Chain A
Amino acid sequence: MENNVQNIELINNYLNKTLSEEVLKVFENRLKTDEVFKTQFDEHVILIEGIKRQTLKIEIKKAKQFYTKNKWLKYFGFGALILLIIWVCFNLFSSKQNGLGDTLNFESDFIQNYQVAVDSIVEIVGVKGTLVRFNPKDLEMLSGATFSGDSLSVEVIELTTKQELLFANAQTVSHGKWLISGGVFKIDIKSNGKSLLLKDGKTIDVKFPKKTDEKEMQLFYGERNNLNRMNWTESKIKFLDEEKYYTIFYRDTSVIDKILTKRYGVDCFKEVILIDSLGYLTLNDIKAKYPEIKSFENQKDTLRILKRFVYEEIHEDYIEDDVGLRKTDSTRIELVKREDFNKVWQWSENIDDLDVISEKVAETYVNYTNQFYKSVKISKLGWINIDKYSKEDNMSNVKFNFNIKTDYDEVFLIDERNNTILNVYDKEFNIPKNRSFYIIAIGIKGKEMYGYKKSVRFNANQKFRIDYKKITETQIKSILTITL
């Protein structure tokens, strides 16, 4: 055994090339002459090579893993490169197209800015009468954090004509369906230049001016896409006529002899107080907001004129004392206190006074309900539209082409009858037969701009050619101006 161990050691030294020249010669000679030693040498080498295979396999396995990982990384890298190229191309296209959208958007011309304090309920009335009422405590930053500062900036946009809608590039389309707009509004509330959101479950009260006789309008929320094109999404808020209600508190003395009463130190009231001109407050809200109502109610010479809805709510409180119900029309009821009624009744000359007052109140009421939609609570700031879906079934299909092949086009279709404005995305559209529309197109080719405007009416499927003419950027607004 000892001999074997020595031989193995000798072989190992030979394989490791650590034998001296002299020993090496002897070793090599022995390999040639000693068959047993040669066999032992061969077996040993085979065994070492066998052991080596294990090491090689581990290395090959690692190499395979490295290769596979690199291969996928290359595929991934290549894929990512392709995606990057697509993204860059898309953005290049979008930014140019978006640039055209920006050029055609004069929205900023309509922005009204209001600075308000945050320490109480805020009420803002826009130029066209849009009334916005909110509690600053209901607002928060986009991150959900509380905003800081003692003032807020409120941005209001009121677009009530189709010309304004067109200038602001606010097309009236909800997911491909045409809308007839009763007005487009934007309410943006900012703190230190950053837009705020309404907290979960919180709303703001808004009363929108009514600029159309269209019935059954609904409220839509709007978003612009990256090409600046507007799309509207229907909300649950509907403006149905029968849901409208309105509350007017009116007080007037029924003391007839004003000179005599004045002599006794009694003031004569003769004024209309519009307590809830928005019409969105419940009776409890009204009492909470106007505590003076309590004393006002106790005055015997008080005349209240209420809308039916509110009347029904307070009916039980007042019915016993009420005597004269003068139903002047389907939407208004006057309640007159017994004592007042009796006094009025006794001095007939004052009945006229009451009628005059009632008429005045009624007129005010009717004016209000005709000029504004019922006040609503909205849960989202930003773009808001009062619309209804346009019901058109007799349509012509119009395929259009251009005399000049431009890089980007923006084509508008404006209904001359309704507040309906569309951005046309494809080279064809369906349009109601025998109705007048404006087609306005603006295109860009390189640095050149082209414009087109025409009033059209289609009564059958047909092709239509848009004959562009070269324009300058300063002419865009005049191209977008429609003669109504």
Chain B
Amino acid sequence: MNDKKILELFKEGQREKAFSKLYSLYPKIESLILSKGGQKQDASDVFQEALIILNRNLEKSDFKLTSSFYTYLYSVSRFIWKDAQKKFSKEELKNFNVTEVEYFHCVLEEKKYQRAELAFIELGNRCQELLRLFYHKAMSFKEIAKMMQFTSEKIAKNQKYKCLAKAKDIYKTSKMLQS
């Protein structure tokens, strides 16, 4: 399938289908990571991160894919792996061209979201479920209350706020520890 069709799948909200098409590029990314001393599991993780970054950028209204999916994913994967290995020298960072800066920026930006994800994972299962239903299933508090057996919408809403506050606390603490 060509890039245009994959792009259309993303636009139509058929993300999972688009990802499965992009997985045809995985063997090349795997070869890259293996050639840089990584393991198969590393390659799988790197490719997953690259897909998440690609998806995030495609959702941005100002993003325009200027290369093929393969070039984009290959470059982003290379940056993710190098960053994970902490192998960027100051010299390299200085000599980045515009596109490389963009890739590098995406990788760094994603780290924030990774921390937030970890904060979310540290929440209890019930909190995780509540936030997922609200933010990703876009369910109303009435529906959430019914599904999660809260006595009222208001309690569901309060509980959601508490969960969110707890996640923020965890995130802030981890950010602080990291800095």
Contact = CB atoms under 8 A, between A and B. Distances in A.
B40 to A, nearest CB: 13
B23 A67 contact: yes
The interface residues of chain A, by DSSP majority, are classed as helix
Contacts of B84: none
Interface stretch (A44-52, A178-186, A418-426): A44-52
A46 B171 contact: yes
A50 B114 contact: yes
B26 A47 contact: no
A53 interface: yes
B19 interface: yes
B56 interface: yes
A288 B62 CA distance: 106
A57 B136 CA distance: 13
B112 A46 contact: yes
A55 B136 contact: yes
Contacts of B22: 63
B16 A59 contact: yes
Interface string A346-380: 00000000000000000000000000000000000
B107 interface: no
Contacts of A121: none
The interface residues of chain B, by DSSP majority, are classed as helix
Nearest to A53: B117
Contact of A50 (B26, B119, B157): B119
Interface in A54-84: 54-57, 59-60, 62-64, 66-68, 70
Interface residues of A, number: 27
Chain B interface extent, by class:
35 or more
Interface string B1-40: 0000000000000011111101110100000000000000
Given A8-B161, A60-B51, A50 B116 contact: yes
A53 B132 contact: no
A1 to B, nearest CB: 8
Interface string B51-85: 11001100000000000000000000000000000
A412 B126 CA distance: 84
Contacts of A60: 19, 48, 51-52
A47 B116 contact: yes
B113 interface: yes
Interface string A32-53: 0000000000011011111111
A5 interface: yes
Contacts, number: 96
A50 B15 contact: no
A28 to B, nearest CB: 15
B168 interface: yes
B132 A54 contact: yes
Interface string B104-146: 0000000011111111110000000001100110100000000
A454 B118 CA distance: 90
A127 B115 CA distance: 96
Given A51-B116, A51-B135, A53-B114, A59 B19 contact: yes
Given A43-B171, A46-B113, A47-B171, A54 B120 contact: yes
A57 B20 CA distance: 13
A286 B135 CA distance: 97
B160 to A, nearest CB: 9
Nearest to B51: A60
A482 to B, nearest CB: 66
A49 B114 CA distance: 9
Contacts of B171: 43, 46-47, 50
Nearest to A62: B16
Contact of A47 (B16, B56, B121, B168): B168
Residue with the greatest number of chain A CB neighbours at <10 A, chosen from B116, B118, B157, B165? B116
A52 B114 CA distance: 10
A62 B51 CA distance: 13
A194 to B, nearest CB: 53
B163 to A, nearest CB: 10
Contact of A49 (B24, B116, B118): B116
Contacts of A4: 161, 165
A51 B168 contact: no
A55 B56 CA distance: 13
Contacts of B168: 43-44, 47
A329 B172 CA distance: 118
B51 A53 contact: no
A50 B114 CA distance: 6
B120 A47 contact: yes
Contacts of B158: 5
Interface in A1-27: 4-5, 8, 16
B117 A51 contact: yes
A63 B112 contact: no
Contacts of B20: 62-64, 66-67, 70
Interface of B: 15-20, 22-24, 26, 44, 48, 51-52, 55-56, 112-121, 131-132, 135-136, 138, 157-158, 161, 164-165, 167-168, 171-172
19 contacts: A4-B161, A43-B168, A46-B113, A46-B115, A47-B164, A49-B113, A50-B116, A50-B167, A51-B117, A51-B131, A51-B132, A51-B136, A52-B136, A56-B15, A56-B51, A59-B15, A59-B19, A67-B23, A67-B26
8 closest cross-chain pairs (CB), A and B: A50-B116, A63-B19, A67-B23, A63-B20, A50-B117, A53-B117, A66-B20, A49-B113
